[in-house]
């Protein structure tokens, strides 16, 4: 509740938990009293998408019909008309849910981690008592690293399957608390000026258009404290990687772009002050360090 806001209008949300038949149930809703919009919490993970990307929650609405009615929650059909780029986000959400288990098994990601983690830690090493935003946490390959350097981590991803896997993985460890949020980074349901650091690794290249990428950056900036540090790691285009496709789709229709250093810097500078842009992992990725 210290971090969350309505993804539509940034308005405040009130928390209503639903007691289940046993005390393990952690369901409830977050309600925007002014608009009547509500967002579901299932098994402790809040889901906060704009209407156009709202996952189907009819089963939840049916199960808690009486309670939702008593609270004055406005039950709406999910999905509906949406612009082409939002359809691509929705397709990727499905693909990420379907592939979450495979992602965890990818040996290449484990090997990459050995090289990436020390650099990410160094980039985000500035001490601050503020929470860290992990924007696109996936199944938790890096979440435990951030939970060692920040007092609280808010881990956002649009794939619920990935968040659930991340939570299981993180709970096996004993680092600082991680708060999971099921949401779209281009409509971040988070309050202003909360975070001292933001980590965004291996995600930026999958946001399907320049407009949506800039929208994410502007949200990230809004949620960060002044002078907070943003670290982005994204596919690089240039040198040897010009033999790779500049843009395309991975399995399941996951979009990707490769950015020249100038392209990446130009986009990040629309909301942040870039301090450093270096080649990472040989020349495969770029790492940007920037300040809010
Ligand atoms: C390649 S994985 C990287 C995950 C993690 N950062 C890592 O390095 O292992 C990309 C993740 O970004 C998430 N993602 C992509 N676009 C997103 C968006 N618009 N909103 C929220 N999550 C998004 C995907 O669901 C996926 O879990």
| Cα 149 to Cα 132: distance, rounded to the nearest angstrom | 9
**DSSP line for 242-284:** GGS-SEEEEGGGEEEE-B-HHHHHHHHTTTSEEEEEEEETTTT
Cα 111 to averaged position of ligand 1 atoms, centre (Å) = 18
Residue from 100, 136, 181, 198 to probe ligand 1 pocket by mutation (most atoms less than 8 Å from CB): 136
Residue from 49, 184, 185, 203 to probe ligand 1 pocket by mutation (most atoms less than 8 Å from CB): 203
Per-residue pLDDT tens digits for 133-186: 999 999 999 999 999 999 999 999 999 999 999 999 888 788 999 999 999 999
Q: What confidence score (pLDDT) does residue 75 get?
A: 74
| Cα 222 to Cα 113: distance, rounded to the nearest angstrom | 29
119-126 mean pLDDT: 94
Instruction: Indicate the pLDDT class of residue 83, thresholds 50, 70 and 90.
Output: confident
For residue 124, the 8-state DSSP code is: T
On average, the pLDDT of the chain sits at 92
Cα 202 to averaged position of ligand 1 atoms, centre (Å) = 7
Q: What confidence score (pLDDT) does residue 242 get?
A: 82
Cα 205 to averaged position of ligand 1 atoms, centre (Å) = 10
Q: What confidence score (pLDDT) does residue 24 get?
A: 61
**4 in helix, strand or coil?**
strand
Q: What confidence score (pLDDT) does residue 19 get?
A: 73
Cα 277 to averaged position of ligand 1 atoms, centre (Å) = 21
Q: What confidence score (pLDDT) does residue 281 get?
A: 73
Q: What confidence score (pLDDT) does residue 54 get?
A: 93
Domains of the chain: 14-71 (no CATH), 86-291 (3.40.50.150)
Instruction: Indicate the pLDDT class of residue 20, thresholds 50, 70 and 90.
Output: low
Q: What does the radius of gyration of the chain's CA atoms come to, in whole angstroms?
A: 19
**DSSP line for 156-204:** EES-HHHHHHHHHHHHTS-SS-EEEEEE-GGG--B-SS-EEEEEEES-G
**Alpha helices in the chain, H assignment, sequence order:** 58-63, 65-71, 84-105, 107-123, 143-149, 160-171, 210-223, 261-268
Structural contact between residues 264 and 287, judged by C-beta atoms closer than 8 angstroms: no
81-89 mean pLDDT: 85
As beta bridge partners, residue 233 has: 201, 287
% of the chain exceeding 90 in pLDDT: 76
Q: What's the token pair of residue 7?
A: 């993804």
Question: Which of the two residues, 242 and 42, has the higher pLDDT score?
Answer: 42
Q: What confidence score (pLDDT) does residue 112 get?
A: 80
Locate the ligand 1 atom nearest the alpha carbon of residue 185 and give its number: 20
Check if 157 has its Cβ closer than 6 Å to any atom of ligand 1. Answer: yes
Decide if pLDDT at 249 tops 60.
yes
Q: What confidence score (pLDDT) does residue 140 get?
A: 94
Structure-derived torsion over alpha carbons of residues 255, 195, 14, 18, reported in degrees to the nearest 10: 70
Check if 219 has its Cβ closer than 6 Å to any atom of ligand 1. Answer: no
Decide if pLDDT at 3 tops 70.
yes
Structural contact between residues 183 and 47, judged by C-beta atoms closer than 8 angstroms: yes
Cα 218 to averaged position of ligand 1 atoms, centre (Å) = 18
For residue 55, the 8-state DSSP code is: P
Instruction: Indicate the pLDDT class of residue 1, thresholds 50, 70 and 90.
Output: confident
Predicted TM-score (pTM) of this structure: 0.96
Check if 185 has its Cβ closer than 6 Å to any atom of ligand 1. Answer: yes
Decide if pLDDT at 106 tops 90.
no
Structural contact between residues 219 and 156, judged by C-beta atoms closer than 8 angstroms: no
Structural contact between residues 198 and 228, judged by C-beta atoms closer than 8 angstroms: yes
Q: In what order do the strands lie in the sheet with 273-280?
A: 14-18, 27-31, 38-42, 45-48, 178-183, 153-157, 132-135, 195-201, 224-235, 285-291, 273-280
Q: What confidence score (pLDDT) does residue 12 get?
A: 96
Q: What confidence score (pLDDT) does residue 114 get?
A: 83
For residue 241, the 8-state DSSP code is: G
Q: What confidence score (pLDDT) does residue 21 get?
A: 59
């Amino acid at each position: 509740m210290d971090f969350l806001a309505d993804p539509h209008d940034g308005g405040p949300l009130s928390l209503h938990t639903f007691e289940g038949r046993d005390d393990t149930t952690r369901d409830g809703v977050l309600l925007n009293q002014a608009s009547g919009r509500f967002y579901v919490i299932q098994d402790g993970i809040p889901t906060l998408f704009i209407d156009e990307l709202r996952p189907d929650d009819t089963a939840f609405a049916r199960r808690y019909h009486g309670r939702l009615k008593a609270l004055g929650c406005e039950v709406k059909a999910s999905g509906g008309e949406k612009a082409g780029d939002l359809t691509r986000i929705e397709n990727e959400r499905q693909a990420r849910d379907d592939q979450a288990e495979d992602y965890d098994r990818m040996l290449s990601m484990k090997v990459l981690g050995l090289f990436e983690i020390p650099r990410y830690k160094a980039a985000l090493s500035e001490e601050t008592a503020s929470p860290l935003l992990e924007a696109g946490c996936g199944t938790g390959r890096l979440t435990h690293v951030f939970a060692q350097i920040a007092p609280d981590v808010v881990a956002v991803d649009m794939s619920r399957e990935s968040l659930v896997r991340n939570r299981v993985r993180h709970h096996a460890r004993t680092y600082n608390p991680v708060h999971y949020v099921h949401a779209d980074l281009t409509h971040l349901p988070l309050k202003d000026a909360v975070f001292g650091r933001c980590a965004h690794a291996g995600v930026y290249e999958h946001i399907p258009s320049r407009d949506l990428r800039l929208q994410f950056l502007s949200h990230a900036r809004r949620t960060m404290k002044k002078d907070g540090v943003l670290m982005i790691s994204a596919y690089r285009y240039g040198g040897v990687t010009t033999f790779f496709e500049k843009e395309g789709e991975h399995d399941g229709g996951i979009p990707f772009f490769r950015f020249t250093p100038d392209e990446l810097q130009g986009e990040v500078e629309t909301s942040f002050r870039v301090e450093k842009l270096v080649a990472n992992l040989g020349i495969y990725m770029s790492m940007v360090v920037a300040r809010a």
